[in-house]
């Protein structure tokens, strides 16, 4: 099976190829070179800040902002830029993510024109470094219960920001310890003695000379497991006063005479609508995790193709990738990474459609936005868990060399570990996916807390899931319609067969979870919280099954877009390896539910082995197609003899280009 890595790279780069190419070229310049040894934390933070300013001048990080504020209004292009940056220093990535994605995104999506005019251009240029102050010491994922307050003072026409308890301190806040000058603070808004729920308010945290503003306490969180180029800090507010315009008022305002107004009357609906506009953060983190996984696999597969160990008696040693165990370690993970790439491509396209070209989603139905939020949450969880698992496998596959700092796998492990918990704890995110599956996006569900899900299942979700039939009949329908009979000798490489098994698993587990919730709630004195808590294991399995089905379908859709016959054939085999590896991983479940016999389970293993052997000759081409320049990979074990592998970016001259100007010159029609 032949592959043209250049053609494959162009296919992977998709509609944002020009953005990715220029980002690769810029990041390959000496200004972004990896130091020979990790610098001390203070110097590292300074270096990351310097590089963030260089990037800001190129226009890449702020592509999502409207044109009049230094961007292009291209959400998809901004995500592509961010994903490419993830092949470089991940501290720089997170620093930019905080500044442009979180802080800038909050001002952009939660503010109105007066905020855009006052701040967006300064945020885009890094003239105004900022923070996104949401998480609190005592309320990490439970944002709706944050304790920080913003109380309207009718006498002065100001909001008074207060941290009432130690647990209410804003914690782990990126950009806070060193550079931030302003924070978007999420707090309970109190007007006329009445709490109006969580809102975001812009609060200056430092004076012009860099010292903490009056009433603001700033603490340095210190060194972390990774990402030590990011200055995470802790914030506390004591009677800090800000004017009325500091409230980001897209969804609610306080008038000059102290009247609270909102176009969304329901507090819970308003809260979830507000959070929904910030979905690009989860999309970005998922994409960054996939990019980091690509870097790790490129290092490990190149090393495995060149490092020789053992072999037949009286023969030369063989490359590690010739051994089945080594193929098994790396190639299914590579196939899954390709699958996640195409699933991410789908999510980015939806994000751009809903929040980009169509004016931030006003013209789109609420259902579309919720579907995007659900898909982004599920993909972020699976992609970041995959990164954590795969980078560890790559480290082990490279032996002692993989443990050396210079080969970057330890750095990738440490820096991506937090991806599983920031921008949403993965387990919580999968519960959000399960919630949407169980309710069918019923409007009333937003009025319930995360653990009140079960109470709603009785009246709505149960009917949504199994209204077409009841009890055992639904399982029989799924068996008949979705999966060919286990008595038939179906080809494991038949795509419909694979899809049928993925769909059967999802619907079977989902309907089973609904039945389990229904039984629990039918008991006398049932507590919805306890019922849902007891079923968490089940709903999480349902969410995982749902996400993997979507990933497989996105891979299939990508194959349909491939015009070249050889390229299409290669993608078909990669898709087979992803699908069969996932089925093999969960084969006990399929056997337990009589969808795969013991004979078929053994066939799965043989098929995965055969696919790994068949893809081994193209393994290096498959990682070369990720297009990671040697300057960014910067791992000696991936560069034999210190020589470049041929994926180095071309010289772009003495002056770094401005991505915004390039895109305007070639025309925005190049962006899909």
CATH number of the domain that residue 90 is part of: 1.20.140.10
Handedness of CA 385, 296, 619, 389 (dihedral sign): negative
Lowest mean pLDDT among 57-71, 496-510, 541-555: 57-71
**pLDDT reading at 486 higher than 50:** no
pLDDT per residue as tens digits for the range 364-393 = 467 788 899 999 999 999 999 999 999 999
Domain carrying residue 474: 451-596
As for how many domains the chain has, the answer is: 3
Query: What does the pLDDT read at residue 313?
Result: 81
Domain boundary among 424, 439, 459: 424
573 and 475, same domain (yes or no): yes
3-state secondary structure of 309: strand
Higher pLDDT, 178 or 662: 178
Q: What CA–CA distance (Å, rounded) separates 34 from 574?
A: 33
534 and 588, same domain (yes or no): yes
Lowest mean pLDDT among 60-64, 267-271, 464-468, 603-607: 464-468
What's the CATH number where 253 sits?
Answer: 2.40.110.10
In a domain, 444, yes or no: no
Lowest mean pLDDT among 133-147, 390-404, 447-461: 447-461
Query: What does the pLDDT read at residue 251?
Result: 93
In a domain, 326, yes or no: yes
Confidence of residue 518 (pLDDT cuts 50, 70, 90): confident
In a domain, 313, yes or no: yes
In a domain, 400, yes or no: yes
Give the largest CA-CA distance in the chain.
Answer: 91
395 and 292, same domain (yes or no): yes
**pLDDT reading at 180 higher than 80:** yes
260 and 288, same domain (yes or no): no
Q: In sequence order, what are the residues at sequence separation of 6 or more whose Cβ sits closer than 8 angstroms to the Cβ of residue 23?
A: 60, 80, 81, 84, 85, 659
158 and 103, same domain (yes or no): no
Pair type for strands 308-309 and 260-261: unpaired
Query: What does the pLDDT read at residue 483?
Result: 52
Q: In sequence order, what are the residues at sequence separation of 6 or more whose Cβ sits closer than 8 angstroms to the Cβ of residue 241?
A: 153, 156, 158, 159, 160, 161, 215
Higher pLDDT, 235 or 141: 235
203 and 288, same domain (yes or no): no
In a domain, 218, yes or no: yes
- Report whether 19 contacts 59 (CB < 8 A): no
Query: What does the pLDDT read at residue 476?
Result: 44
Query: What does the pLDDT read at residue 229?
Result: 97
153 and 44, same domain (yes or no): no
457 and 583, same domain (yes or no): yes
**pLDDT reading at 222 higher than 70:** yes
In a domain, 142, yes or no: yes
pTM to 2 decimal places: 0.90
Other Cβ atoms less than 10 A from the Cβ of 166: the count is: 11
In a domain, 631, yes or no: no
pLDDT per residue as tens digits for the range 39-70 = 999 999 999 999 999 999 888 888 888 888 87
Domain boundary among 565, 596, 627: 596
Query: What does the pLDDT read at residue 459?
Result: 37
In a domain, 581, yes or no: yes
**pLDDT reading at 187 higher than 60:** yes
**pLDDT reading at 555 higher than 90:** yes
Q: In sequence order, what are the residues at sequence separation of 6 or more whose Cβ sits closer than 8 angstroms to the Cβ of residue 328?
A: 608, 609, 612
198 and 144, same domain (yes or no): yes
Query: What does the pLDDT read at residue 469?
Result: 33
Confidence of residue 637 (pLDDT cuts 50, 70, 90): very high
**pLDDT reading at 481 higher than 80:** no
3-state secondary structure of 620: helix
3-state secondary structure of 235: strand
Confidence of residue 529 (pLDDT cuts 50, 70, 90): confident
Query: What does the pLDDT read at residue 490?
Result: 52
Domain boundary among 554, 569, 596: 596
44 and 94, same domain (yes or no): yes
Higher pLDDT, 333 or 461: 333
Q: In sequence order, what are the residues at sequence separation of 6 or more whose Cβ sits closer than 8 angstroms to the Cβ of residue 365?
A: none
232 and 297, same domain (yes or no): no
Query: What does the pLDDT read at residue 522?
Result: 82
**pLDDT reading at 468 higher than 50:** no
DSSP 558-578: HHHH--SHHHHHHHHHHHHHH
Residue-averaged pLDDT of the chain:
86
Helix (H) or strand (E) holding 239: strand 233-243
Confidence of residue 356 (pLDDT cuts 50, 70, 90): low
Confidence of residue 658 (pLDDT cuts 50, 70, 90): low
Average pLDDT of span 415-432:
94
351 and 469, same domain (yes or no): no
Q: In sequence order, what are the residues at sequence separation of 6 or more whose Cβ sits closer than 8 angstroms to the Cβ of residue 164?
A: 147, 148, 149
Confidence of residue 657 (pLDDT cuts 50, 70, 90): low
Higher pLDDT, 401 or 666: 401
Confidence of residue 303 (pLDDT cuts 50, 70, 90): very high
Query: What does the pLDDT read at residue 475?
Result: 40
Higher pLDDT, 72 or 150: 150
Place of tokens 């008696």: 313
């Amino acid at each position: 099976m032949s592959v043209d890595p250049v053609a494959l790279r162009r296919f992977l780069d998709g509609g944002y190829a020009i953005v990715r190419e220029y980002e690769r070229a810029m990041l390959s310049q000496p200004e972004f070179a990896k130091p020979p040894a990790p610098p001390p934390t203070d110097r590292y933070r300074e270096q990351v800040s310097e590089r963030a300013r260089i990037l800001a001048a190129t226009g890449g990080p702020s592509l999502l902002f409207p044109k009049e504020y230094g961007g292009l209004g291209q959400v998809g292009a901004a995500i592509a830029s961010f994903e490419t940056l993830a092949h470089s220093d991940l501290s720089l990535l997170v620093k930019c993510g905080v500044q442009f994605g979180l802080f800038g995104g909050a001002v952009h999506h939660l503010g109105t024109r007066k905020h855009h005019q006052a701040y967006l251009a300064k945020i885009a240029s890094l003239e105004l470094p900022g923070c996104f102050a949401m998480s609190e010491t005592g309320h990490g994922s439970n944002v709706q219960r944050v304790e920080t307050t913003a109380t309207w003072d009718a006498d002065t026409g100001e909001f008074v920001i207060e941290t009432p308890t130690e647990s209410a301190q804003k914690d782990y806040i990126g950009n806070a310890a060193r550079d931030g000058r302003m924070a978007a603070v999420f707090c309970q808004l109190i007007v006329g003695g009445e709490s109006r729920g969580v809102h975001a308010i812009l609060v200056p945290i430092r004076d012009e000379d860099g010292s903490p503003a009056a009433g603001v306490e700033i603490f340095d969180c210190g060194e972390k497991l990774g990402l030590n180029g990011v200055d995470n800090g802790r914030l506390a507010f004591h009677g800090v006063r800000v004017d009325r315009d500091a409230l980001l008022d897209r969804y609610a305002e306080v008038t000059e005479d102290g009247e609270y107004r909102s176009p969304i009357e329901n507090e819970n609906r308003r809260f979830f609508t507000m959070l929904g506009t910030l979905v690009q953060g989860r999309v970005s983190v998922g994409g960054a995790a996939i990019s980091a996984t690509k870097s790790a696999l490129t290092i490990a597969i190149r090393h495995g193709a060149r490092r020789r160990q053992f072999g037949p008696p009286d023969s030369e040693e063989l490359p590690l990738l010739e051994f089945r165990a080594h193929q098994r370690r790396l190639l299914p993970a590579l196939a899954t990474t390709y699958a996640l790439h195409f699933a991410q491509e789908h999510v980015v396209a939806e994000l751009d459609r809903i929040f980009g070209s169509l004016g931030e989603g006003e013209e789109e139905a609420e259902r579309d936005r919720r579907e995007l939020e659900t898909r982004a949450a599920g993909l972020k969880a699976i992609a970041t868990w995959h990164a954590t698992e795969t980078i560890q496998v790559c480290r082990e596959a490279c032996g002692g060399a993989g443990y050396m700092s210079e080969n970057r796998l330890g750095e990738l492990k440490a820096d991506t570990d937090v991806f599983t918990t920031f921008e949403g704890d993965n387990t919580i995110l999968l519960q959000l996916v399960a919630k949407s599956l169980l309710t069918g996006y019923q409007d009333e569900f937003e009025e319930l807390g995360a653990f009140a899900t079960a109470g709603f299942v009785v009246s709505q979700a149960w009917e949504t899931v199994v209204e077409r039939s009841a009890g055992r009949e639904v399982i029989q329908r799924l068996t008949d319609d979705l999966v060919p009979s286990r008595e038939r000798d179906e080809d494991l490489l038949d795509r419909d067969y694979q899809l049928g098994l993925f769909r059967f698993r999802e619907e079977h587990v989902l309907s089973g979870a609904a039945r389990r919730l229904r039984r629990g709630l039918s008991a006398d004195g049932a507590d919805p919280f306890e019922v849902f808590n007891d079923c968490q294991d089940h709903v999480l399995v349902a969410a995982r099954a749902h996400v993997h089905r979507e990933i497989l379908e996105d891979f299939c859709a990508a194959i349909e877009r491939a015009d070249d016959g050889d390229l299409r054939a290669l993608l078909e085999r990669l898709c087979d390896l992803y699908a069969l590896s996932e089925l093999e991983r969960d084969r006990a479940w399929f056997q337990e539910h009589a969808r795969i016999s013991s004979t078929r389970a053994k066939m799965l293993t043989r098929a995965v082995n055969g696919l790994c052997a068949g893809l081994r000759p193209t393994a290096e081409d498959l990682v070369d197609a990720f297009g990671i320049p040697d300057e960014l990979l910067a791992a000696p074990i991936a560069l034999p003899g210190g020589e470049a592998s041929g994926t180095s970016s071309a010289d772009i001259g003495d002056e770094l280009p401005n991505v915004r100007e390039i895109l305007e010159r070639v025309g925005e029609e190049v962006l899909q």
